[in-house]
Chains A and B, each alone.
Chain A
């Protein structure tokens, strides 16, 4: 049967299709999962929406402006760098938006407007693009940007506003925990997020909704959040800094500061975490340990972001140690043992 025969079979009013002489060839597989990088990043953005909304509700429109500046500068720096170095501009994969969003949410709402711009520069240009861009960077760009800001402008980075006021809080709950005092507010306020803190970090509830969404959508696996929070919680409970207040101390320690924000969102960045499940467990445990060590023995009241950055550097090593045993290798070993 040739082309004309095929065409005759078609109705006159229907479009006519014909087999080309040569067809397109490509390697298998010929179908693909629809979970592209862009789709995954979009899911992360959706997961962070509750935290952002709560931040705007608590700290007002200024919080939104800070986050938007952060996102816009991340995207601009990414596009600018890629243009400058004559690479394909990849901003449509939304990874720069996610970096900007995470960075913005980890800032206090009262920072000067140039602070997110400086953070975005460090995050995108220094931490991400200079290492080769998405998939190649060693440390989490957003957290690197945040730590860079905290080291350079500590006064700016502690302008935590009291919710629904412009008053800058003097004592954050973390500081009081550091001084071995259980904060006076009720635990419920901390779970809901009704206290002075960074825009997206205060509400444990909003972050939990986000992480559950990510888990349901299978964007992330449970290993890092569970290992991170589990390790930290166990240490807080069994070695509290306030004698006899094991339960209370552990709960207040978990629900304040950036521990949940890091464990649920930031530490799950694909590029800077191990690819194996076992590796992710080790990574999470390491993050939990270092967070608690910094809180207990370091000069800073909070250590979660530092913990993640430190563990990022261990990722190549962890991956080397957790290479899965290939299918059939165990059987081969048995065979040679015989």
Chain B
């Protein structure tokens, strides 16, 4: 039996690299490590131009509050610290390091000294924090903060291996090639949080993943594999929790309110690397695909590697590129700068030509077919939110649940009239939030 939720869509999966093994790239000559790669405040640089840094050395520290440290992904010299536009918007700073090619590790890269059974939760969480681990699905929420919040509250751990976005195969390859790292990582999290029940959520279409994971589970039944129907957005946290538990997480609440904590497969593997080797999160698996890439591949790349370098590692271009999408095609951001760097949350770099341009010659018109209503995984009426905000009616947009929108892109994907429904819903969400802020200001 396979777990599922109502709604969703079945886009072509485009997973051309699902049989392509992960390839470690030769670290590039320059890496540009952003100081914002996570939810929370930007890091404060702790190195300056001209400093020599080693692999895994702390280069950006948290000034206080929610944040996550960043580390050098190659050894070499800091060339400059430049101001850039962050991939999610806003100002950020990148630390540019020239690679000396020696790959010398920092002294801080040492295994966690204790046996897991002797380690306290505090120590494990501190190690995770020091390693700069963030949620690697796409949310990039600092993992230590999630762990700290889940202490004493969570009784179930869900490991998300679903990757329902088309094109993406990074998690899939990780599960096939290094399932032990995921299992070790989730066991560390189980110890840290005192959790006795773990579900590994795997897409129904991925029989191969279940076959490699099954022998590693142990026979005490604490870790189980759960098959989830392959459709989009089955990998979304709220939909995943609902599929497995039938518990609905509304806007403003987290799975923790139901005693559930969800981690992505790559995040689990990163936790394992951090404790077993003391290796901070300085590399990740990125799917490089799209119709312009000559040989699509899954690459293990240092954080800060530019998109251009990735494309070069995949044999260059095979068509004239128009768009580069960072992340999956349903929720990823189109980037304006081909030299932008890979961050901790870059699951894919997709290079698209005109072929993936769906702009119609006709103006977008809602024909009220109701497909967005049937497909919306949050059971909203996207067309109503869109038309309300087009008329400037923020109250009505709020009444139709604009704040519940998870921006998964399903409604825009399915719309026959070519209406940018998701974009309008996002606009509605911002308008509602702004209205509430203004309201609060007047009240206060």
Contact = CB atoms under 8 A, between A and B. Distances in A.
Interface of A: 1-2, 5-6, 9-10, 17-33, 35-37, 39-40, 88, 90, 92-93, 95, 133-135, 221, 270-271, 273-277, 280, 323-332
Contacts of A31: 11-12, 14, 166, 329-330, 356, 358, 413
A22 B249 contact: no
Contacts of B54: none
Nearest to B409: A29
Given A19-B321, A25-B336, A327-B377, A275 B251 contact: no
B225 interface: no
A138 to B, nearest CB: 11
B418 A36 contact: yes
B381 interface: yes
A135 B417 contact: yes
Interface in B290-308: 292, 308
A19 B308 contact: yes
A275 B421 CA distance: 15
Contacts of A35: 371, 414, 416
Interface in B148-178: 166
19 contacts: A23-B324, A28-B325, A28-B329, A29-B409, A30-B350, A31-B329, A31-B358, A32-B412, A36-B418, A37-B365, A37-B416, A40-B416, A92-B362, A95-B367, A275-B369, A324-B381, A325-B379, A326-B380, A328-B238
Contacts of B249: 328, 331
B311 interface: yes
Contacts of A1: 28, 308-309, 312
Nearest to B374: A277
Contacts of B12: 31
B320 interface: yes
Given A17-B318, A88-B362, A324-B379, 11 more contacts: A1-B308, A2-B308, A22-B337, A32-B358, A32-B412, A33-B414, A39-B416, A135-B365, A270-B370, A323-B381, A326-B378
A220 to B, nearest CB: 9
A280 B422 CA distance: 24
B334 A24 contact: yes
A328 B318 contact: no
Nearest to B5: A327
Contact of A17 (B292, B338, B415): B292
Nearest to B380: A326
A27 B374 CA distance: 22
Nearest to B315: A9
Nearest to A27: B423
B138 to A, nearest CB: 11
A17 B250 contact: no
Interface string B392-407: 0000000011001001
B276 interface: no
Most buried by B among A5, A22, A27: A27
B338 A23 contact: yes
Nearest to A333: B250
Contacts of A27: 334, 412, 420, 422-423, 426
B316 interface: yes
A324 B247 CA distance: 17
B322 interface: yes
Q: Which 3 pairs, one residue from A and one from B, show the smallest C-beta to C-beta distance?
A: A328-B250, A275-B370, A29-B409
A336 to B, nearest CB: 11
A1 B309 CA distance: 6
Given A19-B321, A275-B383, A328 B251 contact: yes
Dominant SS at the A interface?
loop
Contacts of A332: 250
Nearest to A16: B317
Given A5-B312, A27-B423, A28-B331, A327 B248 contact: yes
Nearest to A31: B329
A221 B370 CA distance: 10
Contacts of A276: 370, 373, 381
A29 B367 contact: no
Contact of A25 (B335, B380, B404, B409): B335
Nearest to A332: B250
B9 interface: yes
A86 B426 CA distance: 31
Contacts of A273: 368
Contacts of B312: 1, 5-6, 9
A36 B28 CA distance: 43
B362 A93 contact: yes
A23 B416 contact: no
Nearest to B322: A24
A88 B363 CA distance: 8
A30 B383 CA distance: 19
Contacts of B363: 88, 90
Interface string B201-225: 0000000000000000000000000
B366 interface: yes
A129 to B, nearest CB: 13
B309 A25 contact: no
Nearest to B167: A31
B404 A23 contact: no
A57 B248 CA distance: 56
A31 B370 CA distance: 20
Nearest to B401: A326
Given A30-B352, A327-B248, A331-B250, A19 B317 contact: yes
A28 B370 CA distance: 20
B106 interface: no
B248 A36 contact: no
Contacts of A19: 308, 311, 317, 321, 338
B404 A328 contact: yes
B391 interface: no
B47 interface: no
